[in-house]
Chain A
Amino acid sequence: MAIEFELNGEIVHYHGDPRASLLNALRETYWLTGAKVVCEEGFCGACTVHVDGEAVPSCLRPIGLIANCSVTTIEGLAEPEAPHRLQTAFREHDVVQCGMCFPGMVMSLSKLLEDNPTPTREEVKHGLVGNICRCTGYERIVDAVMSLQDNSEARA
């Protein structure tokens, strides 16, 4: 039985094993490789996607539970010509290193900013509790997020 869901604005039908993780389905059925396979245990956040507007680790969601949901991946978050303001900020602040964690970081933080457009530095750090980065030491990521607010220095 096919599983119907919305993927980056398009209705799709998944015919594989419903026990497969959403992450594997995205990567191996739809060839969307932006969500990364890193820990596959829900700790690192590199596979974060939006399911019905919530940021979730796609490694822990069986695709069978995605029926009739709306899924947005990093590929569907914004058009390359009109990137999300977080992507622009990360680029301008030269935050990226190896890059493996960033699709997940962007998905988590874009949701955080939607819920709380003016977070404090502590709130941004707290929001990253489920997104691990091995390269950057985080502070520059937080700087970039804070730069999206006026007078960010004053709040830092």
Chain B
Amino acid sequence: MSDGYDASAAVLDYPRRDAQDKLTGRTLYTVDRAGPETLKAVLFRSKIAAGRIVRLDVEAACRAPGVRAVVTAADAPGQFGLGIADHTIFASDTIRHHGEPIAAIAADSLQQAKAAMDLIELDVEPLPALLTVEAALAKNAREIHSDWKNYEILLEGAKRGGNVAWEATVERGDTDAAFARDDVTIVEGCYRVGRQSHVPFEPRAVNARYEDGRFNIETSTQVPWTVRSVTARALGVPESHVRVTAPPVGGGFGLKFDCTLEPYAAILAKKARRSVSLINSRREEQLTCLCRENAEIRIRSAVTASGEIVGREATVLMDCGAYGGEQVFLTTMTAHTLGGNYRTGAIKLASRAVYTNTQPNGAFRACNGVYNTFALERHTDEICKAIGMDTIAFRRQNVIGDGDLGATGQVFEGDVLRPMLERMAEKYPYDAPAEPVRDGWLRGRATTVGTWFIFVGPSSATVNLNADGSATLVTSGVEIGSGSMMQALPQIVASELGIEPDAVIVKTADTDASGRDLGVGGGRQTVSLGAASTQACAEIRKKLFSVASELLQTEPSRLILKEGRIERRDGAGGSVGLTEVIARAEATVGPVSGSGAFTAPGVAAMPGCAAGHFIDAIDIPVFAVHDCELDIEVATGRIVIRDYRVIQDVGRAINPRAVYSQVQGGVVQGLGYALHEEITINEEGYFDQDGFETYRIPLAEDVVPVDLEMYEGAPSIGPLGAKGAGEVPILNVGATIACAVANATGKPVSELPLTPPRVLSLLRGRTDALELEHISRNWRDNVIS
């Protein structure tokens, strides 16, 4: 009990209030909300990956039956982006990827809109497409953005050039000296991963209207405020002319952490003077998915015989596709993921977002961390092999602990990974008797560690107390499925105000009503919105206690809120009901409300270490230890997961049952990534996997129950010490599976996913350790000088 309320009351397995309607099909997602009066829109997209538009004529399409509006680049010339404004919503003269929108059409019916697309006349002069990072970085490669020097810079400090959209570097200490030492073993490895598609069941979708001179956008998004600002930039209108609301979202996983369809619907609605619905078909959703990026990595480490990492150099090439998008920001994360986990002497890291003539990539649950953790953990096991050290002992010795320096020189607080690792080893000893391995199968097990963070940043909350003793929480939060808006937030507000969670009404995002917010992602919703809500409730308590102190004839500091009443802390004297105090307040000072705000506290990095980073140090680190035991069928290369175990740093679990659900779901998404999910791009720049038939996501029979132990008590500035729990479960799944397969087969695992053909090729000795010639061993060659 502190400050007049019982914070621990927030912790409970409170059920979801949206379950009933979701289970009975009554929840209306954005895709369900376009009524018969709404026009249906389609996007006319490029069928080639690179080219110049010679002629575009939409006259015939404009006159087609049922067509109400046709828009092109001329209607929305504004450039936007993260870090650099390199993107427009329509291609105007240059086509940079397959599927790039060139025009949009709204018509009375979807069929009419599609029919009108066939009447658009487009002449293009194809250009040779640069479809791989290697091709885009080759000497004398064509510049995909010939005008890159003239783009508006939105964040200063990064090097750019040619097809390198953005470069983030870390330099701490003298790696040359470390690698030159005569007492070190130098270990080197290359790693490669493909793209992962989010496949949210609700595709990106938007309904837009133009009313009273403003755009009214209802959309399936994780980031209402980003949609507001990008739409305004794209359409060249003030941000205040855009209102964004978000109904329940049918899955996001990071895909909806960017503005995509909204500006098209908005401009069509203005031109047609009608409501417009734009929904990606499943094929479009897949073919224009802002995937987890494909990446290529080289790591070199200098390690002493006793297992001290004295030097490390790494280069990470991230394919951002045709536009920088989220990748520009995500270059930041290499420092905190590949540069995480272990105490390291001198370190140099380069993380480059590279333009290619492919579909832009985006953010996906634990973004760049997933493959950097895969590379780092495989590399760590290779180090152990090279110096003859046990992999668990090496990790226990080297994991980041209290007072250790991170890559960018930030000082970490608290020993978290080491006790988690020890707990895993204690629960599941490697020497425990095991079920015998079947004939024709191999068994492998691995334990890995991972470092991730909570993406803090601005959030705001207002809480209005109602006359009936209920409270309305107004934020820009969105319920994307994780349950934060349904569980953690009402639980926190209820405990702060001494009322029941059912008495907390949760209003979801409406940029006309709720304060600015970074959005739902990066494990931030419970932490950032929770912290802002906590502050709003503190203001309310202060006001209530002031009024109640007169009623109870005592000092405000002696009062507490409990079970809908205000009473004296010492139990003496009477008590007064919350509704009575609210009524009294309305009569004397007015209705009671409170507001709160939160932002990143700004943990310090070492000055001069990091360049081109959006975040130099991570405010709330999150750690995970994963362990997997699997069997491999030698004849087929098929992998069967036997056991999957997680110890996750949750800070403090506010709704433990919901945390379990997030971990089970996140690990299974990671299993898909590790075992079979991959987008490949053909020579036309088109995805080979364009739907559910070819892009296989995990099915019920593929999965196992995840054994989770929550690690509580690690430092966190979140409410009650909470950390986000939804993002991190996917972090080291790829790493753990890869290390277990390497252990089972004794082969170098350098690529994901581990499909049966890839595993078979490893088993039959047809795959050598990966070598990436286009990433130099000399780190300096890999960065812009």
Which residues from chain A sit less than 8 Å from chain B, CB to CB?
27, 32-41, 43-44, 46, 73-75, 77-78, 80, 83, 87, 90-92, 94-103, 106, 124-126, 128-129, 131-142
Contact B693 A137 (CB under 8 A): no
Contacts of A124 in B (CB 8 A): 700
Contacts of B23 in A (CB 8 A): 83, 87, 90-91, 96, 99, 102-103, 106
User: A51 to B19, alpha carbons, bound, how many Å?
Assistant: 25
Instruction: List 16 extra interface pairs beyond A41-B692, A41-B693, CB under 8 A.
Output: A38-B201, A40-B282, A91-B20, A94-B658, A95-B19, A95-B661, A96-B16, A98-B481, A102-B23, A126-B700, A134-B198, A134-B669, A135-B481, A136-B661, A137-B664, A140-B664
Contact B665 A97 (CB under 8 A): yes
Which residues from chain B sit less than 8 Å from chain A, CB to CB?
13, 15-16, 18-20, 22-29, 31-32, 198-202, 248-251, 253, 281-282, 480-483, 657-658, 660-661, 664-669, 691-693, 697-701, 703-706
Contact B661 A94 (CB under 8 A): yes
Contacts of B32 in A (CB 8 A): 27, 33
Contact A132 B697 (CB under 8 A): yes
Contact A137 B15 (CB under 8 A): no
Contacts of B198 in A (CB 8 A): 134
Known: A39-B691, A91-B15, A94-B657. A100 touches B202 (CB 8 A): yes
User: A73 to B480, alpha carbons, bound, how many Å?
Assistant: 24
Q: Which of A94, A98, A126 sits near B249, CB closer than 8 Å?
A: A98
- Give the distance to chain B from A26, nearest Cβ to Cβ, in Å: 10
Contact A139 B19 (CB under 8 A): no
Contact A94 B19 (CB under 8 A): yes
3 tightest A-B CB contacts, nearest first: A34-B25, A99-B22, A98-B481
Contact B692 A43 (CB under 8 A): yes
Contact B19 A135 (CB under 8 A): no
Known: A87-B23, A98-B249, A99-B250. A136 touches B693 (CB 8 A): no
Known: A94-B658, A137-B706. A41 touches B19 (CB 8 A): no
User: A92 to B692, alpha carbons, bound, how many Å?
Assistant: 31
Known: A34-B25, A98-B201, A103-B25. A137 touches B692 (CB 8 A): no
Contacts of A41 in B (CB 8 A): 282, 691-693
User: A33 to B24, alpha carbons, bound, how many Å?
Assistant: 10
User: A129 to B482, alpha carbons, bound, how many Å?
Assistant: 24
Q: Which residue of B lies closest to A136 (CB)?
A: B665
Q: Which of A75, A92, A102, A137 sits near B665, CB closer than 8 Å?
A: A137
User: A95 to B660, alpha carbons, bound, how many Å?
Assistant: 10
User: A40 to B31, alpha carbons, bound, how many Å?
Assistant: 14
Contacts of B18 in A (CB 8 A): 96, 99
- Give the distance to chain B from A113, nearest Cβ to Cβ, in Å: 15
Contact B669 A126 (CB under 8 A): no
Question: What would be 14 A-B contacts, judged by CB atoms less than 8 Å apart?
Answer: A32-B25, A41-B691, A87-B20, A91-B23, A94-B661, A95-B661, A97-B483, A99-B19, A99-B23, A100-B200, A106-B23, A125-B701, A138-B664, A138-B700
User: A136 to B669, alpha carbons, bound, how many Å?
Assistant: 9
User: A155 to B497, alpha carbons, bound, how many Å?
Assistant: 44
Contacts of B660 in A (CB 8 A): 140
Contact A97 B482 (CB under 8 A): yes
Contacts of A39 in B (CB 8 A): 282, 691-692
Contacts of B481 in A (CB 8 A): 97-99, 135
User: A102 to B27, alpha carbons, bound, how many Å?
Assistant: 11
Contacts of B25 in A (CB 8 A): 32-35, 73-75, 103
User: A1 to B705, alpha carbons, bound, how many Å?
Assistant: 52
Contact A91 B19 (CB under 8 A): yes
Q: Which residue of B lies closest to A106 (CB)?
A: B23
Contacts of A34 in B (CB 8 A): 24-26
User: A106 to B698, alpha carbons, bound, how many Å?
Assistant: 19
Q: Which of B22, B201, B703 sits near A137, CB closer than 8 Å?
A: B703
Contacts of B697 in A (CB 8 A): 132, 134
- Give the distance to chain A from B66, nearest Cβ to Cβ, in Å: 16
User: A26 to B455, alpha carbons, bound, how many Å?
Assistant: 41
User: A140 to B668, alpha carbons, bound, how many Å?
Assistant: 12
- Give the distance to chain B from A94, nearest Cβ to Cβ, in Å: 5
Contact A128 B700 (CB under 8 A): yes
Contact B661 A140 (CB under 8 A): yes
- Give the distance to chain B from A56, nearest Cβ to Cβ, in Å: 16
User: A2 to B705, alpha carbons, bound, how many Å?
Assistant: 49
Known: A129-B701, A134-B669. A100 touches B250 (CB 8 A): yes
Contact A75 B24 (CB under 8 A): yes
Contacts of B22 in A (CB 8 A): 96, 99, 102
Contact B201 A134 (CB under 8 A): yes
Contacts of A77 in B (CB 8 A): 24
Contact A134 B200 (CB under 8 A): yes
User: A106 to B21, alpha carbons, bound, how many Å?
Assistant: 13
Q: Which residue of B lies closest to A99 (CB)?
A: B22
Contacts of A101 in B (CB 8 A): 201
Contacts of A102 in B (CB 8 A): 22-23
Contact A83 B692 (CB under 8 A): no
Q: Which residue of A lies closest to B668 (CB)?
A: A137
- Give the distance to chain B from A5, nearest Cβ to Cβ, in Å: 19
Contact B701 A94 (CB under 8 A): no
